[in-house]
Structure 1
Amino acid sequence: MTTISDDSDLPIEVDDDDDANFSASPALSTASLGSSVLRYEFKHGRRYHADHMGNYPFPNDEPEQNRLDMIHHVFYRLLNDRLFLAPIDPNGKRILDIGTGTGIWAIQMGDEYPGIEQIIGNEISPIQPMWVPPNVDFVIEDVEKEWMEQQPYDYIHCRYMAGSIRDWPRLIQQCYDNLKPGGWLELLESVNVLYSEDGSLRYDSHMVRMMDGLKEASERTRQTMDPAPHFRMWVSNAGFREVQQVKFKLPIGSWPRNTRLKECGTPMRVNFVDGVEAFTAALFTDILGWSMEDVVELNAGVRRESLQNDMHPIFDVYVVMAQKPL
């Protein structure tokens, strides 16, 4: 097992001159893919995917699509403007993107690598655009059901699926079984435990309480919110070799002095300010039994803390790459 180190052991320097006054909202939109799978559920003032399509507990409406596209750009900058870290040449390859969401990763891959044979984006909600590169296709299905693939893949990409998968070891085993010998699996996920390096994030803060509640609700539904620490073990148990892990620090807020981390942290602040309602609406009321008043109070506290530049919260992000033996 090989571990690739990044600069993640170095503390993030705080920009003392950063402007605490902040107001932003993503301005992205996504055209929906025509499909017969459009029996959406509306609750808590948001639109959710059809119940029969899978277990995803978060909305799939336009504000959520905007948020997912924004998170894509966060990860792209966090990885130093890279779409993947696996040691592959994607040209001529057959690729699967698990939980493709709006399809933005698959579309950018298809644009940047026109020599890719095919990219298939798998998703339970038909929210992908109609106009895509010729080597990109989307399928609507639940990835946790038995795969019925006709051809194996050269590379499988899975990102930002915490809280959405009930049986990660089985999913990873299906990835292994549907990869060509020598093929690669790449998993990207944040360790969903907020911390600060300077003690500025209090253990009783609204942001920490929200993350703790999300993890508790997800455990009750058997869809862990924190799979990242187990990725290396699961891929090794499935039979993968050449396992590599890279860790990145992902700040929340525009407080880092480093330009790239500031560019990552600023939309992450938007993610908490504009996205907190999507995080808490269903899980805190339907699963944890919170009253709407308590949820509204928590959300307000999360928004307030996210805008405070004297708090410096950080997520660790793991990228795990593993190769199926030749």
Structure 2
Amino acid sequence: MAHRASDHPIEVDVEEDDPSLAGTSSSTTSLSSSVLKYEYRHGRRYHAYQSGSYPFPNDKPEQDRLDMIHHVFYRLLNDRLFLAPIDPNGKRILDIGTGTGLWAIQMGDENPSIAKIVGNDLSPIQPSWVPPNVHFVVDDVEKDWVESKPYDYIHCRYMAGSIRDWPRLIQQCYDNLVPGGWLELQESINSLYSEDGSLKPDSWMVKMMEGLIEGGARVGQTLDPAPSFEGWVRDAGFANVQTHKFKLPIGPWPKDARLKECGSFMRINFVEGVEGFTAQLFIDVLGWKPEDVDALNAGVRAESLKGEIHPIFDFLVVAAQKPL
């Protein structure tokens, strides 16, 4: 079953011309310990456990960005945390690559009757004060899973560039679900486009996305897994595959209030996040000179603030059920 994004183009708000980034602050309470070790490169902090497995920072600015992106995806899905047809009451749930843990925390808050939510990540950056049904662990999800009992629902979101072997990961999800359990994958298709021709092929934003995809391919961690999700879940044995596609704008140019909100935060994501996106992959992997990366970053920031460019990502949600 497939649910596609509206075929109607996103209507542009011709009165939107305010480049302000007001209202962008966010805060995270992060777990800290004197025994934690991190790596520092390019002026940013990276995880040390399984070093190099995740090519983006894990410092406070990155945590704030991840919290903002959680809000974007929640609003894009019409204030829903998941689309799989499940009743979470009494269920055991796994959140793969939980990041700051915000999805798991909100899920636990809104559904106190959930039996248990486990969030795993390479970095121990989650808050220590969480709902009683939420538990965080530092773990590499690409290693062999050793689970005491299977899960009823597994959630995996925004993991592009983090996974070396997606088919193996999806097979492990299948093997660690109860019969009838659900896997849900949420990810943007990382090719920018515009519906009105305003985004040009030589755009700085397009160059950045193409470079990220090339860099991810070179280290064997695809930055664009979403187009393959349907095939991978079917190959693993999942059935009842449901696909939903949403248009995710960059910038506050849409007329629709909810899309304007999502786009405003996505513009901040590009303006404030570009340095973290490009540092490791462009310098260490693609071999760019730092000054050339600085020029790319400046170009991305400038374009993101231009109201006349109307970029869009397609955001894909694939839910699939393990047969009974």
Query: Same fold, TM exceeding 0.5?
Result: yes
**TM-aligned CA distance change 1:116 to 1:36, over 3 Å:** farther
CA positional deviation for 1:300: 0.2
Give 1:15-34 correspondences, 5 Å limit.
15-24=13-22, 26-34=24-32
Q: Sequence identity, in percent?
A: 71
Q: Is the 8 A contact 2:47 2:58 kept in 1?
A: yes
Paired position in structure 1 for 2:111: 113
SS of aligned partner of 2:269 = helix
Q: 1:131 aligns with which of 129, 135, 141?
A: 129
Paired position in structure 1 for 2:3: 4
Q: Is the 8 A contact 1:74 1:267 kept in 2?
A: yes
- For residue 173 of structure 1, what is the amino acid of its counterpart? Q
Q: Deviations over 1:197-244 (max 9, x none)?
A: 000001001000000000000000000000000000000000000001
**TM-aligned CA distance change 1:191 to 1:130, over 3 Å:** same
Paired position in structure 1 for 2:187: 189
Q: Is the 8 A contact 1:120 1:139 kept in 2?
A: yes
CA distance in 2, matches of 1:130, 1:139: 12
**TM-aligned CA distance change 1:268 to 1:109, over 3 Å:** same
CA positional deviation for 1:54: 5.9
CA distance in 2, matches of 1:51, 1:25: 34
**Structure 2 unmatched ranges of 5 or more:** none
Paired position in structure 2 for 1:231: 229
Paired position in structure 2 for 1:282: 280
CA distance in 2, matches of 1:122, 1:25: 30
Q: Is the 8 A contact 1:157 1:186 kept in 2?
A: yes
- For residue 154 of structure 2, what is the amino acid of its counterpart? I
Q: Is the 8 A contact 2:211 2:282 kept in 1?
A: yes
**TM-aligned CA distance change 1:28 to 1:83, over 3 Å:** same
CA positional deviation for 1:33: 2.2
Paired position in structure 2 for 1:302: 300
- For residue 282 of structure 1, what is the amino acid of its counterpart? Q
Give 1:38-53 correspondences, 5 Å limit.
38-52=36-50
CA positional deviation for 1:30: 1.9
Kindly tell me the number of residue pairs found equivalent between the two proteins. 324
**TM-aligned CA distance change 1:37 to 1:91, over 3 Å:** farther
CA distance in 1, matches of 2:197, 2:32: 49
Q: 1:264 aligns with which of 237, 262, 279?
A: 262
Does structure 1 residue 161 correspond to structure 2 residue 156?
A: no
Q: Is the 8 A contact 1:25 1:270 kept in 2?
A: no
CA positional deviation for 1:28: 1.9
CA positional deviation for 1:23: 2.6
**Structure 1 unmatched ranges of 5 or more:** none
Paired position in structure 2 for 1:87: 85
- For residue 262 of structure 1, what is the amino acid of its counterpart? K
CA distance in 2, matches of 1:41, 1:29: 23
SS of aligned partner of 1:134 = coil
CA positional deviation for 1:37: 6.5
SS of aligned partner of 1:102 = coil
Give 1:246-257 correspondences, 5 Å limit.
246-257=244-255
- For residue 207 of structure 2, what is the amino acid of its counterpart? R
Q: Deviations over 1:240-270 (max 9, x none)?
A: 0000100000000000001110010000000
Q: Is the 8 A contact 1:206 1:298 kept in 2?
A: yes
- For residue 70 of structure 1, what is the amino acid of its counterpart? M
CA distance in 2, matches of 1:253, 1:20: 10
Q: Is the 8 A contact 1:41 1:51 kept in 2?
A: no
Q: Deviations over 1:162-203 (max 9, x none)?
A: 011000000000000000000000000000000000000010
Paired position in structure 1 for 2:62: 64
SS of aligned partner of 1:231 = helix
**TM-aligned CA distance change 1:156 to 1:196, over 3 Å:** same
Does structure 1 residue 171 correspond to structure 2 residue 169?
A: yes
Q: Is the 8 A contact 1:201 1:311 kept in 2?
A: yes
CA distance in 2, matches of 1:23, 1:141: 36
**TM-aligned CA distance change 1:10 to 1:37, over 3 Å:** farther
The TM-score with structure 2 as length reference comes to: 0.98
Does structure 1 residue 291 correspond to structure 2 residue 276?
A: no
CA positional deviation for 1:53: 5.3
Q: CA RMSD in A?
A: 1.2
CA distance in 1, matches of 2:298, 2:105: 35
CA positional deviation for 1:10: 1.4
